[in-house]
Structure 1
């Protein structure tokens, strides 16, 4: 009789800890990553400012999700350009460029079907002696309830991984050594999926 009571009390304590733990989690998250690319800002910005070029470096691509379909609209580059993609793994996503200052900044909003809030993204490019520092920052809110706060926590971890992979792929467009490293990471990621 004591064993079932102990299990029940343990489950109640664990449930309470999970519920109360959600109050420690934020109702938003931010991912910020940077990389130095061996190219001038104008060269790098070409791959960011044109949504049709994202397929060449973004972690969400045909290798990750072979069912992925992309659609483009608006102007070819800059403010107003947008892309949509849909796939079994990536879901339905729309990225809309809201502001563009070539070759230093690009702002966008990303809306994923089934999520309550948009993600705000910013690319900042800084010229350096050895190339360009690319800083990619993404911010998103999550619904203020225990389930969505935990979901936001895990989404942040996934976004960090995808952001790092994307930046390595962007670097690889200009650097053969980075290209080999990026391919190895893609193969490793594919093996974990």
Structure 2
């Protein structure tokens, strides 16, 4: 009779820990990554400011989700331009450019249908000697409930990986030698998995 009692108490304690642990999780999360690209801001910015160019460097591409379809609207570049992605893995995503200051800043909002999250993002480009520092900052608001707070925690980890992969792909557009280094890094990660 002690074993069922112990199991019941353990389940109650675990449930309470999960419930009260959600109060410690934030109602938003931020992902900030940067990379130095061997090109001038004027050369890099068009790949960010034009949604049709995102498929050349963004982690959400046909290799990630072969079923993905992209639709574009608004002006071709800058404020008001948008893209919609629809696929089995990515779901239905809308990325809408809310402000653009060429060649230094691009602001956007991203919504995923069925998700209780709203992401705002900023690309900042800083000229450097021999290149450009591209900083990609994303802030996501999470609905204040138990399920979405935990979902947001795991979504942040995935967003960090996708952001790093996307920035490396952007750099590879301007530095083909880095492409082989990136492929080696990805192969090493897969080998450790």
- Asked if TM exceeds 0.5, the reply is yes
Kindly indicate whether the alpha-carbon contact (under 8 Å) linking 1:26 and 1:149 is maintained by their aligned counterparts in 2: yes
CA distance in 2: counterparts of 1:32 and 1:144, whole angstroms: 22
Given the alignment of the two structures, is residue 5 of structure 1 paired with residue 8 of structure 2, yes or no?
no
- Aligned residues, how many? 192
Cα offset for 1:140?
A: 1.1
CA distance in 2: counterparts of 1:180 and 1:135, whole angstroms: 23
Structure 1 gaps of 5+ residues are none
Kindly indicate whether the alpha-carbon contact (under 8 Å) linking 1:60 and 1:90 is maintained by their aligned counterparts in 2: yes
Given the alignment of the two structures, is residue 106 of structure 1 paired with residue 106 of structure 2, yes or no?
yes
Kindly indicate whether the alpha-carbon contact (under 8 Å) linking 1:64 and 1:190 is maintained by their aligned counterparts in 2: no
TM-score (norm 1): 0.94
> Relative to 1, partners in 2 of residues 1:186 and 1:90: Cα closer, same or farther, differing over 3 Å?
farther
Structure 2 gaps of 5+ residues are none
Kindly indicate whether the alpha-carbon contact (under 8 Å) linking 2:116 and 2:148 is maintained by their aligned counterparts in 1: no
CA distance in 1: counterparts of 2:34 and 2:142, whole angstroms: 24
Kindly indicate whether the alpha-carbon contact (under 8 Å) linking 1:97 and 1:107 is maintained by their aligned counterparts in 2: yes
CA distance in 2: counterparts of 1:25 and 1:188, whole angstroms: 32
CA RMSD of aligned residues (A): 1.8
Kindly indicate whether the alpha-carbon contact (under 8 Å) linking 2:37 and 2:134 is maintained by their aligned counterparts in 1: yes
Cα offset for 1:4?
A: 1.1
> Relative to 1, partners in 2 of residues 1:144 and 1:13: Cα closer, same or farther, differing over 3 Å?
same
Match of 1:89 in 2: 89
TM-score (norm 2): 0.94
**Could you give the per-residue CA deviations for residues 69-106 of structure 1, whole angstroms, max 9, x where no partner exists?**
00011111111111001000010000011111000000
CA distance in 1: counterparts of 2:172 and 2:19, whole angstroms: 43
Kindly indicate whether the alpha-carbon contact (under 8 Å) linking 1:165 and 1:185 is maintained by their aligned counterparts in 2: no
> Relative to 1, partners in 2 of residues 1:191 and 1:47: Cα closer, same or farther, differing over 3 Å?
farther
Structure 2 residue matching 1:84: 3-state secondary structure: strand
CA distance in 2: counterparts of 1:189 and 1:50, whole angstroms: 31
